[in-house]
């Protein structure tokens, strides 16, 4: 493989730092162009120096001076602000790793999809908020798009590639299945779910991740977002998409073929596995993960998800059939509700209830598919406004019971 030059958007996060760990272990194969962060100046400066980045960008303009000071004496250019972030995403490199969390990652990921030869996409919210637009731009630019989400990485492998850009051939596929660990609350009753705390929700039994996706995993909203992500990535209809609960998280995705064969991908639950595949695509590299020892595990178990206790999955079914704008609305409402839950302002089960109520209040007329970044961001802003109003009402009287 020729040496690959990378830009990592969201370098200080969970996916970003795992990516940099892999890159530094194979420094003959990779070099860093740009690293970005939101406002973690200290973390960004440290990573930029360690990994010999050429450029460092903070999204928050107020952090510019601090970053400049932190990198003084180093040959690293410094920039700040949302425009600088999008500019960084389009500076010519071999691959952009899109690992910002939330809809904040959409503009730079879209900018990368329109201009770069390869994008490794962790930011699933880009596809949830503007899936048609994103995939259209990927197609027009002939971008090689490699998913970093473990389930979608699994499906890509079980489908036998090629990387997304050209639509995969699904003629003989009867079903694509993504697995869910079930999160920390898989066995709790509906009543117990209403009382869980942010600390309990942040403690995922299997995966170690950033806080937003940890809460999404606990509510199964992460699986809802992933179903929508799969719809756009693979261009598959809702009837052929499904979720299977698999608490050990060893199998990540399964492709059911028409002849009865099922091809599944297995790996220890460590994000370094799908990140390594994306970084080396279409080759492979060492992901520095323990070998999978099935005999030591002994057994793998599976169960149907409980849509009654985890209504995010029912909402996902609705969204898979609806206009793309509905997914953007639910994503915006969810981001706001997760923030409010982490701040202790609403209960855990209020998160999905607020998403449903926001969608109901905005889905009077057809929302359409966002045709531009502005369309998607306008829906996001309106959803946040509406969800903010709902979250401010006394949670118990609004949503409980």
Residues making contact with ligand NAD (CB under 6 A): 10-16, 37-38, 40, 59, 99-101, 104, 122-125, 149, 207, 209-210, 212-213, 271
How far apart CA 168 and CA 148 sit, in angstroms, is 17
Query: Is residue 207 exposed (0-12), middle (13-18) or buried (19+ Cβ within 10 Å)?
Result: middle
Chosen from ligand NAD, Mg ion, none, partner binding at 45 (C-beta under 5 to 8 Å by type): none
- For residue 135, give Cα distances in angstroms to 24, 192, 222, 279: 31, 40, 20, 20
> Which residues in 135-150 are b (16+ Cβ under 10 Å) and which e?
bebbeebebbbbbbbb
User: Residue 90 region, left (φ>0) first, then alpha (ψ -120 to 50), else beta?
Assistant: alpha
When CB distances to ligand NAD are compared, the closest residue is 13
Q: How far is the CB of 355 from Mg ion (least distance, A)?
A: 19
Q: How far is the CB of 38 from ligand NAD (least distance, A)?
A: 3
Residues in the chain: 401
Q: How far is the CB of 9 from ligand NAD (least distance, A)?
A: 7
Q: How far is the CB of 226 from Mg ion (least distance, A)?
A: 5
How far apart CA 349 and CA 225 sit, in angstroms, is 17
Chosen from Mg ion, ligand NAD, none, partner binding at 125 (C-beta under 5 to 8 Å by type): ligand NAD
Q: How far is the CB of 151 from Mg ion (least distance, A)?
A: 5
Q: Is the peptide bond before 162 cis (omega within 30 degrees of 0)?
A: yes
Q: How far is the CB of 267 from ligand NAD (least distance, A)?
A: 13
Pick the closer one to ligand NAD by CB: 108 or 324: 108
How far apart CA 111 and CA 176 sit, in angstroms, is 29
Chosen from Mg ion, ligand NAD, none, partner binding at 186 (C-beta under 5 to 8 Å by type): none
Pick the closer one to ligand NAD by CB: 39 or 240: 39
Residue identified by tokens 């450029």 is 55
Chosen from Mg ion, ligand NAD, none, partner binding at 122 (C-beta under 5 to 8 Å by type): ligand NAD
Q: Which two tokens stand for residue 192?
A: 């117990």
- For residue 396, give Cα distances in angstroms to 63, 116, 335, 374, 393: 39, 48, 20, 35, 9
Pick the closer one to ligand NAD by CB: 229 or 395: 229
List helix spans (H) across 185-245: 190-194, 198-202, 211-219, 221-234
Chosen from Mg ion, ligand NAD, none, partner binding at 213 (C-beta under 5 to 8 Å by type): ligand NAD
Q: Is the peptide bond before 282 cis (omega within 30 degrees of 0)?
A: yes
Choice from 149, 216, 229, 350 touching Mg ion (CB under 5 A): 149
Pick the closer one to Mg ion by CB: 123 or 150: 150
Chosen from Mg ion, ligand NAD, none, partner binding at 101 (C-beta under 5 to 8 Å by type): ligand NAD
Q: How far is the CB of 388 from ligand NAD (least distance, A)?
A: 17
Q: Binding of Mg ion at residue 335 (CB under 5 A)?
A: no
Give me the residues that bind Mg ion (CB under 5 A), please: 149-151
């Amino acid at each position: 493989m020729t040496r690959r030059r990378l830009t990592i958007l969201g370098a200080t996060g969970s996916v970003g730092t795992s990516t940099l760990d892999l890159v530094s272990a194979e420094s003959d194969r990779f070099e860093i162009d740009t690293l970005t962060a939101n406002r973690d100046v200290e973390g960004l400066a440290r990573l930029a120096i360690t990994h010999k980045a050429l450029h460092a960008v903070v999204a928050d303009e107020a952090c510019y001076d601090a970053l400049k000071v932190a990198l003084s004496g180093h040959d690293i250019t410094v920039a700040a602000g949302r425009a600088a972030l999008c500019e960084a995403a389009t500076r010519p490199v071999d691959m952009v790793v899109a690992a910002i969390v939330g809809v904040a990652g959409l503009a730079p990921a879209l900018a990368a999809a329109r201009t770069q030869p390869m994008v490794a996409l962790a930011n699933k919210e880009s596809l949830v908020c503007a899936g048609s637009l994103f995939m259209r731009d990927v197609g027009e630019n002939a971008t090689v798009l490699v998913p970093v989400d473990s389930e979608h990485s699994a499906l890509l492998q079980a489908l036998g590639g090629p990387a997304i850009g050209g639509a995969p051939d699904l003629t003989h596929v009867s079903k694509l299945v993504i697995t869910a660990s079930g999160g920390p609350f898989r066995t709790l009753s509906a009543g117990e779910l209403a009382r869980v705390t942010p600390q309990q929700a942040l403690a995922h039994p299997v995966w170690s991740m950033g806080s937003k996706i940890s809460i999404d995993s606990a509510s199964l909203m992460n699986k809802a977002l992933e179903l929508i992500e799969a719809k756009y990535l693979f261009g598959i209809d809702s009837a052929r998409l499904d979720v299977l609960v698999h608490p050990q998280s060893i199998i990540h995705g399964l492709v059911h073929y028409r002849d009865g064969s099922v091809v599944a991908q297995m790996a220890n639950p460590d994000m370094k596995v799908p990140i390594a595949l994306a970084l080396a695509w279409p080759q492979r590299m060492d992901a520095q993960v323990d070998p999978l020892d099935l005999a030591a595990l002994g057994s793998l178990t599976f169960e149907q998800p409980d849509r009654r206790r985890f209504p995010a999955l029912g909402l996902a079914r609705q969204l898979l059939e609806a206009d793309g704008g509905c997914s953007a609305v639910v994503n915006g409402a969810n981001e706001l509700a997760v923030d409010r839950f982490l701040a202790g302002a609403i209960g855990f089960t209020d998160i999905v209830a607020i998403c449903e109520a926001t969608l109901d209040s905005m889905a009077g007329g057809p929302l359409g598919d966002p045709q531009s970044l502005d369309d998607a961001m306008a829906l996001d802003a309106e959803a946040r406004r509406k969800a903010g109003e709902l979250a401010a009402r006394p949670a118990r009287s609004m949503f409980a019971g």
